Amino acid sequence: MHRIALPDTGTASAWRQAARACLDAGLSPADVSWGDDADEAGLFDTLPVSPAKPVRMTVPRSFVEMAETVCWHRDTDRFARLYQFLWRLRDEPYLMGDRGDRELAALRLMEKGVHRCQHKMKAFVRFREIGDREDPRRSFAAWFEPTHHTIEPTAPFFVRRFADMDWKIVTPERSVIFQGGDLSFGPGQPKPALPDDASEALWLTYFRSIFNPARLKVRAMTSEMPRKYWKNLPEAATIPDLISGAPARARAMAEAAPTLPPAHAENARRQLAGHASAWSGPMDALPAAIHACQRCPLHSMATQAVPGQGPQDARLMIVGEQPGDQEDLAGVPFVGPAGRLFDRVAQSAGLDRSLAFVTNAVKHFKFEPRGKRRIHKRPNAGEISHCRWWLDAELAQVSPKLILALGATAAEALTGSGDNILARRGTVETRADGTTVLISIHPSFLLRLTDGQERDRQTDLFRDDLRRAAAMMQDGPQPSRSQALA
């Protein structure tokens, strides 16, 4: 019987060496007893002498890797179990691939335990700073209680991670010291008194704040962070309070009445409107958004913006120029003199305005104050372009079959050109997105005509345009005819 005792430093490579010697000497597992108490007997005292020409046996790489991990397990039988399995492996080399084998399954379980312990050590060691923060090499120390003998195999991880600082990790069995770039191991120590560390309070604050009391899952926590580690984790001290307070906090959140938005919310919303390139909000919020518009300076003069009105699913959209004096006051489109004229002509043309969505190319009233009156001013290209954003939003919302453009401004906003309106009136043009636009004059043009005869003639033409619109609504757009007219 050979008694082999392995040292507590370099245990894995010592076992490998000893196992190789025993195997070479042909010692069966029954002939060897393994121990990890280095004081009892020296390693090489009882190491068997190999025969002159040993039969070299190759061992799968996977076994060597497994053995190197299992050697750090706390179980005192680990060396014997490894040798027992190694002995069998001589005759059955495929055994490493047999996951159903009892002995292999037990060894794999031990391997898993060591890996888990190593992983938890990487995760749960908590350093405190023991030197000055401004030192060229900062120094830290930690106290840790691992389940297995995992200090030595895990130390290289900390070297790779914390190479530019000095640190030591003290455990009851061993301690590891990294100073000036050199790694060394020392004897175990009782728990040292480490100085308070201000960052630890911040860490506790973080731990408390990142916890969501509405989703308490204590078992999910303890399965990954078992209680045995809690005594050395500073943040664990806060856990009982977090758990006991959670239901009340969750209830309070649920029961709290909704509050009004703070004052800065409205400013932020306006600021945001300036960043966006296309309206993408909910449709019922569109009128409110138009009301809040500050995209061009017109808003500062007008009473209010006037969004379009009418059925959201209208097949016809009527686009005028901009709100006038009356519309600006009422906040409703087409209610002034021109709007009333439009209504009269439309009625005689058989066009039901209530079925159409009525809006303007520009949503704010542009005018020049003159005494007690406000004199209408045509919006310029920049204003039309700024406001097209809202017109596009309304178009996207209603998606009409036909758009009736009244006057040059509407034509410009819808087709890109407001020129030669009198020549284009009564014709149908197609927008880039395929919607058709029937061009006509603006009713205020009729109001400005002083020659009665000419006014009657133009009114008749306007009526014809509206009739045409009404007809197109009934038949749907007719491309062939519109091409002929255009």
Partner 1 sequence: MTAKSLESKLAILSDAAKYDASCASSGSTRRDSRDGKGFGSNEGTGICHAYAPDGRCISLLKILMTNFCIYDCAYCINRVSSNVARARFSVDEVVRLTVDFYRRNYIEGLFLSSGVIRSPDATMADMVEIVRKLREEENFHGYIHLKTIPDAAPELIEAAGRLADRLSINVELPTDASMQRLAAEKNPARIRRAMADFRLRKEASSDASHTGRKPPRFAPAGQSTQMIVGADGSNDAAILGESTRLYSSYQLKRVYYSAFSPIPDSSSRLPLISPPLMREHRLYQADWLLRFYGFDLKEIVDGARDGNLDLELDPKLAWALGHRDIFPVDINRAERELLLRVPGFGVKTVNRILGTRRHRTIRYDDVVRMGGLMKKAGPFITALGWSPGGLIDTAQLRARFLPPPAQLSLF
DSSP state of 468: H
Residue 263 CA: distances (Å) to CA of 131, 256, 259, 295, 356: 48, 20, 12, 21, 38
Q: Does 183 bind partner 1 (CB under 8 A)?
A: no
Q: Which of 33, 38, 118 is nearest to 79 (CA)?
A: 33
Q: Closer to partner 1 at the Cβ: 57 or 252?
A: 252
Candidates 356, 301, 293; CA nearest to 325 is 301
Return the residue of 56, 217, 370, 448 that touches partner 1, per CB under 8 A.
217
Q: Give the binding range for partner 1 (CB under 8 A) out of 13-21, 33-41, 213-221, 475-483.
A: 213-221
Interface pick for partner 1 out of 194, 225, 396, 461 (rule CB under 8 A): 225
Which among 185, 384, 367 is positioned nearest to 295, based on CA atoms? 384
Of 197, 343, 392, 464, which lies in the binding site for partner 1, with binding defined by CB under 8 A? Answer: 197
Determine the Cα–Cα distance for residues 193 and 379; give it in Å rounded to an integer.
79
User: How would DSSP label each residue in 441-467?
Assistant: --HHHHHH---HHHHHHHHHHHHHHHH
| Residue of 83, 140, 367, 445 interacting with partner 1 (CB under 8 A) | 140
Q: Which listed range, 31-39, 157-165, 295-303, 444-452, lies at the site for partner 1 (CB under 8 A)?
A: 157-165
Show the CA angle centred on residue 281, arms to residues 254 and 403, nearest 5°: 150
Task: Tell which one of 125, 395, 402, 410 touches partner 1 (CB under 8 A).
Answer: 125
CB atoms < 10 A from the CB of 56, how many?
8
Nearer to partner 1, 262 or 434 (CB): 262
Q: Find the binder of partner 1 among 59, 80, 165, 177 (CB under 8 A).
A: 165
Task: CB nearer to partner 1: give 154 or 444.
Answer: 154
Q: In the complex, what is the shortest distance from the CB of residue 182 to partner 1, in angstroms, rounded to a whole number?
A: 12
The least CB distance from residue 99 to partner 1, in Å, is 4
Please measure the distance between the N-terminal and C-terminal CA atoms of the chain and give it in whole angstroms.
112
Place of tokens 């973080």: 206
Which of 162, 291, 388, 467 contacts partner 1 by CB under 8 A? Answer: 162
Residue 376: helix, strand or coil by DSSP? strand
Does 206 sit near partner 1 (CB under 8 A)? yes
Nearer to partner 1, 280 or 354 (CB): 280
Q: Which stretch binds partner 1 (CB under 8 A): 26-34, 196-204, 290-298, 338-346?
A: 196-204
CA of 338: how far to CAs of 37, 47, 454, in Å? 106, 113, 17
Q: Binding segment for partner 1 among 95-103, 394-402, 450-458, 467-475 (CB under 8 A)?
A: 95-103
Task: State which of residues 26, 51, 54, 97 lies at the interface with partner 1 (CB under 8 A).
Answer: 97
Cβ proximity to partner 1, 92 vs 460, nearer residue: 92
Q: Is 372 in the site for partner 1 (CB under 8 A)?
A: no
Contact flags string 284-303 toward partner 1, x per CB under 8 A? -x------------------
* CB closer to partner 1 out of 44 and 206: 206
Instruction: State the Cα–Cα distance between residues 301 and 335, nearest whole angstrom.
Output: 20
Tell whether residue 348 is a contact of partner 1 (CB under 8 A): no
Contacts for 53-57 with beta carbons within 8 Å, 24 or more apart? 54/24, 54/25, 55/24, 56/24, 57/23, 57/90
Minimum CB separation of residue 129 from partner 1 in Å reads 7
Q: What share of the chain is helix, strand, coil (3-state, %, to 5)?
A: 50, 15, 35
Q: Of 129, 166, 321, 412, which one interacts with partner 1 (CB under 8 A)?
A: 129
The nearest distance, CB 207 to partner 1, in angstroms, is 7
Check binding of 192 to partner 1 (CB under 8 A).
no
In sequence order, the 6+-apart residues with CB closer than 8 A to the CB of 403 are 316, 317, 318, 319, 395, 414, 431, 435, 436, 437, 438
Q: Which of residues 13-42 bind partner 1 (CB under 8 A)?
A: none
391-406 b/e (C-beta count within 10 Å ≥ 16 → b): bebbbebbebebbbbb
Whose CA is closest to 427, among 468, 399, 367? Answer: 468
Q: Is residue 227 near partner 1 by the rule CB under 8 A?
A: no
Instruction: Give 246-266 as a DSSP string.
Output: HHHHHHHHHHSPP-PPPTHHH
Q: Is 398 in the site for partner 1 (CB under 8 A)?
A: no
- Which 248-287 residues touch partner 1, going by CB under 8 A? 250, 253-254, 256, 258-259, 261-262, 264-265, 268-269, 271-272, 275-276, 280-282, 285
7 vs 93, which CB is nearer to partner 1? 93
181 binds partner 1 (CB under 8 A): yes
Q: How far is CA 460 from the centre of its chain?
A: 61
